[in-house]
DNA sequence: CATATTTAAGAGTATTAATTCTTAATTAAC
DNA sequence: GTTAATTAAGAATTAATACTCTTAAATATG
């Protein structure tokens, strides 16, 4: 069941690492994150570049540089990250879909899936990095094994 | 949002074509299905071979041969097809997942996603080809553009 | 038995996603 | 200014998925 690409999964996990690790400096280095989460440095760098271009992150080069959230973590919603990394058409085609399917031309599971899709969408819209960060700090959930 | 592979999508649509087109003979030819649904003959043949090997379909070679459901359509559930084509581990790893995630080691969205996953699973378990076939015959939904 | 029809099997190709690698640019500190 | 640290950019590679093609086997019919 592949709901999100590796790109999105890594991206979200990395951002959650940032919000759940109150850092000393202004910027968090990508190297630190990939070391902690055991991700590929180059791959995450590429993912973060995309998020920087989309205005979700700031970046700063040089010693003690790194990346930082462009907005307070309670104003960054999961949906922002998913749409930035998966594309704005993320919710368009989905379960059984033939070309041109949708409300007008529903596939046999459209009625059911419409509800699921709304649940997912509203959850992604209403969940901020800050909320999930708190859960991690409270050790209710975790980011790695 | 790619919940199912093309393989599963085509497979399910093709089976639904069968149940929604009461055939004259015992077997339906793959050529007829791919012509109607505008799918690749060779690709669907491969998908059906898998379903035949898994015991979901019967096949018969030669003139007026084809494939047929191995059980009455009200006894074939969507979950059977999905697990056959996506693998039995379909529900194991899902939204944010790191290696080894799950109930014991929940990722930050596990609580939410657990519910979604159960909804999807129970719907797939409780929906038969016959049920969807009826909806198609009633023209509530459709299989192609 | 010859021919036409149809699935079986799997090799081969193309496209996309995932990951790695190389080189450049920016910045801090000495 | 030299060096070290760090992100930027994007080419190159690998792996997975999607799709196509070729050949073989089975079966019905004349
Ligand atoms: S659920 Fe609706 S949008 Fe999704 S594939 Fe079916 S018809 Fe298309
Ligand atoms: S929701 Fe549960 S099973 Fe799915 S990825 Fe998160 S922890 Fe793993």
The residue nearest atom 3 of ligand 2, judged by CA position, is B102
| Ligand nearest to C-alpha A113 | 1
B65 touches chain A (CB under 8 A): no
Mean pLDDT of B1-20: 97
Please give the pLDDT value at position B47: 98
Range of the domain at B132: 6-137
Question: Looking at chain B from residue 111 to 130, which residues have their Cβ under 8 Å from any Cβ of chain A?
Answer: 111-112, 116-117, 119-120, 123, 127
Return the closest nucleotide (C1') to the Cα of B57.
Answer: C7
DSSP string, chain A: --SS-HHHHHHHHHHHHHHTS--SSSSB-HHHHHHHHT--HHHHHHHHHHHHHTTSEEEE-STT-EEEESS-GGG-BHHHHHHHHH-TTTTTS-SS--TT-SSSS--TTHHHHHHHHHHHHHHHHH-BHHHHHHHHHTTSS-S--
| pLDDT tens, position by position, B79-130 | 999 999 999 999 997 899 898 899 999 999 999 999 999 999 999 999 999 9
- Return the residue matching tokens 């969807």: B132
Taking CA atoms only, the protein residue closest to ligand 1 atom 3 is A102
H or E element in which residue B131 lies: helix B129-137
How many contacts, defined by CB atoms under 8 Å, are there between A and B?
Answer: 105
Please name every residue paired with A57 in a beta bridge, in sequence order, or none if there are none.
A69
Averaged pLDDT of chain B = 96
How confident is the model at residue A138, as a pLDDT? 98
Number of domains composing chain B:
1
Residues B37-60, mean pLDDT to the nearest whole number: 98
Separation of CA A95 and ligand 2 centre (Å)? 20
Hey, are the CB atoms on B144 and A1 less than 8 Å from each other? no
Q: Give me the pLDDT at residue B56, please.
A: 98
Q: Can you tell me which residue has the tokens 């087109």?
A: B21
Q: How confident is the model at residue B25 (pLDDT cuts 50, 70, 90)?
A: confident
Lowest mean pLDDT among A59-73, B16-30, B49-63: B16-30
- Considering the domain boundaries, does residue B75 fall inside one? yes
Query: Strand D footprint at Cβ < 7 Å?
Result: A 27-31, 42, 45-46, 48-49, 52-53, 59-67; B 2, 5-7, 10, 40, 42-43, 45-46, 60-65
Going by pLDDT thresholds of 50, 70 and 90, the confidence category of residue B24 is confident
B144 within domain boundaries:
no
Specify if B87 maps to a domain. Answer: yes
Asked whether residue B143 is domain-assigned, the answer is: no
State residue B97's pLDDT score: 85
Q: Is position B92 within any domain?
A: yes
CATH code at position A103: 1.10.10.10
Task: Give the residue with minimal CA–C1' separation from C6.
Answer: B62
- C-alpha B51/C-alpha B111 separation (Å) is 34
The tens-digit pLDDT sequence of chain A (145 residues) is 999 999 999 999 999 999 999 877 899 999 999 999 999 999 999 999 999 999 999 999 999 999 999 999 999 999 999 999 999 999 997 899 888 899 999 999 999 999 999 999 999 999 999 999 999 999 999 999 8
Is B93 an 8 Å CB contact of chain A? Answer: yes
């Amino acid at each position: 069941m592949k709901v999100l690409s590796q790109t999105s999964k890594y991206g979200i996990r990395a951002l959650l690492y940032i919000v759940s690790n109150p850092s000393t400096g202004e910027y968090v280095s990508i190297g630190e994150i990939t070391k902690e989460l055991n991700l590929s440095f180059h791959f995450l760098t590429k993912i973060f570049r995309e998020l920087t271009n989309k205005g979700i992150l700031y970046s700063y080069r040089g010693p003690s540089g790194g990346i930082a959230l462009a907005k307070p973590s309670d104003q960054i919603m999961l949906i922002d990250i998913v749409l930035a990394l998966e594309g704005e058409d993320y919710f368009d085609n989905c379960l059984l879909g033939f070309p041109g399917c949708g409300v007008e031309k529903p596939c046999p599971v459209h009625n059911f899936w419409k509800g699921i899709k709304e649940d997912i969408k509203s959850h992604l819209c209403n969940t901020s990095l800050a909320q999930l960060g708190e859960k991690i700090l409270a050790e209710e959930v975790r980011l790695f094994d």
